[in-house]
Amino acid sequence: MKILVTRRIMEPAIELLKKYGEVEVNPHDRPMTREELLKAIADKDAVLTQLVDKVDSEFFDHAPNVKIVANYAVGYDNIDVEEATRRGVYVTNTPDVLTNATAELAWALLFAAARRIVEADKFMRGGHYKGWGPMLFLGKGVTGKTLGVIGAGRIGQAFARMSKGFNMKILYYDFERKENFEKEMGAQFVPLDELLKEADFISIHVPLTPQTRHLIGEREFSLMKPSAILINTARGPIVDEKALVKALKEKKIFAAGLDVYEREPEFEPELAELDNVVMLPHIGSATEESRLDMAMLAANNIVDFIEGRVPRTLVNKEVLNKK
């Protein structure tokens, strides 16, 4: 069994894979170029991919022996799952293990944006602090406010649960109601437009699909309160980035906190010029614990396949009918 790991991950996962086959790991501290990836997969039976690796028809044409693609992410919008299934290739992801880490980061962004943490830090480092002032860096309080959750999946629900200590009203929008979530948290299921109008803090937790691309655009920003804060730790293209820049510049919303971008690693240049946005380099799952768990889950999916078991987080269960 020949296995490709397209970016170095935690060593215990690599060592596990080495027990089951010949493992090639991208030696560079960067994503593989398309040319490097297509060349490397030519003789591989399994590939442990990253979110930036595009797995499409061209990929499979260059990888005639590949039987499983284990994605090192909960999302798998980088993979043409339908094409993989057609070719009898298993696709897996890493759900659950990054849920709390990503929810925690959404809260970190919320507080940083609400209390203007990054602005204040720059102010201090620049030597501008001359003493306490009653109007210095006034931000937005959190306790007792209305929290809007767009997407009540694992991460969205975990994010909402973390609000318990702040006595917040929780509104949520999803493509289906989550009655257990409503009972547990007292959350209210509302149309998206109502959530946008009522929420003080809006956090995005839906997957990227054709239906959610640019889910938040100029019209949606016009519905939000001028005091609203938008958080996105899901996928960048869910938000129209040009419309976001316009909303921030024109003070149609108070602030934003971003961990993802529409054309990663690029982003709208004007974002970097604005003080009312906090920007992070896609580190939602970047805790030592979560990244180890993700690596081990991705590796164990490959091990499951090698040992003849159904991989534990198989995405395309339809592929089982092709065997």
- Residue 92 tokens read as 């897996």
The CA–CA distances, whole Å, from 301 to 55, 181, 223, 306 equal 17, 29, 43, 9
Q: Give the Cβ contact number of residue 27 at 10 Å.
A: 7
Q: What is the mean pLDDT of the chain?
A: 97
For the segment(s) 99-279, the CATH number from 1.20.1250.20, 3.30.1360.200, 2.60.40.420, 3.40.50.720 is 3.40.50.720
Percent of the chain surpassing pLDDT 70: 100
**In the predicted model, what is the mean pLDDT of residues 125-139?**
97
- The pLDDT, as a whole number, for residue 260 is 98
Q: What confidence score (pLDDT) does residue 161 get?
A: 98
Tell me the three state secondary structure of residue 173: strand
pLDDT, tens digit, 9 for 90 and up, residues 150-196: 999 999 999 999 999 999 999 999 999 999 999 999 999 999 999 99
**What is d(CA 122, CA 124) in angstroms, rounded to the nearest whole number?**
5
- SS (HEC) of 257-273: EECCCCECCECCHHHHH
Q: What is the pLDDT of residues 252-307, one digit of tens each?
A: 999 999 999 999 999 999 999 999 999 999 999 999 999 999 999 999 999 999 99
Averaged pLDDT for residues 134-139: 98
**Rounded CA separation 291/310 (Å):** 23
Per-residue DSSP letters for 60-91?
HHT-TT--EEEESSS--TTB-HHHHHHTT-EE
CB atoms inside a 10 Å sphere around CB 135 = 5
Torsion of CA 19, 21, 22, 26, to 10 degrees: -80
DSSP annotation string for 258-312: ES--TBTTB--GGGGG-TTEEE--S-TT-SHHHHHHHHHHHHHHHHHHHTTSPPT
Q: What is the pLDDT of residue 51?
A: 94
Catalytic residues: 235, 264, 282
Question: Average pLDDT in the 195-216 region?
Answer: 97
pLDDT band for 311, please (50, 70, 90 cuts).
very high
- If DSSP states are collapsed to H, E and C, what string results for 105-165? HHHHHHHHHHCCHHHHHHHHHCCCCCCCCCCCCCCCCCCCCEEEEECCCHHHHHHHHCCHH
- Split at pLDDT 50, 70, 90, the class of 322 is confident
Can you read off the two tokens belonging to residue 41? 């997969």
75: tokens are: 């999302």
- Region 96-116 average pLDDT: 97
Helix axes 11-18, 288-306, angle to 10 degrees: 10
The pLDDT, as a whole number, for residue 300 is 98
Which CATH code, of 3.20.20.70, 3.40.50.720, 3.40.50.10310, 3.40.50.1100, is assigned to 2-97+287-322? 3.40.50.720
For residue 320, the 8-state DSSP code is G
pLDDT tens string 15-50: 999 999 999 999 999 999 999 999 999 999 999 999
pLDDT for 323 equals 63
In the chain, where the domains are located: 2-97+287-322, 99-279
- The answer to whether 15 and 46 are in contact (CB under 8 A) is no
Q: Which amino acid is at 226?
A: P
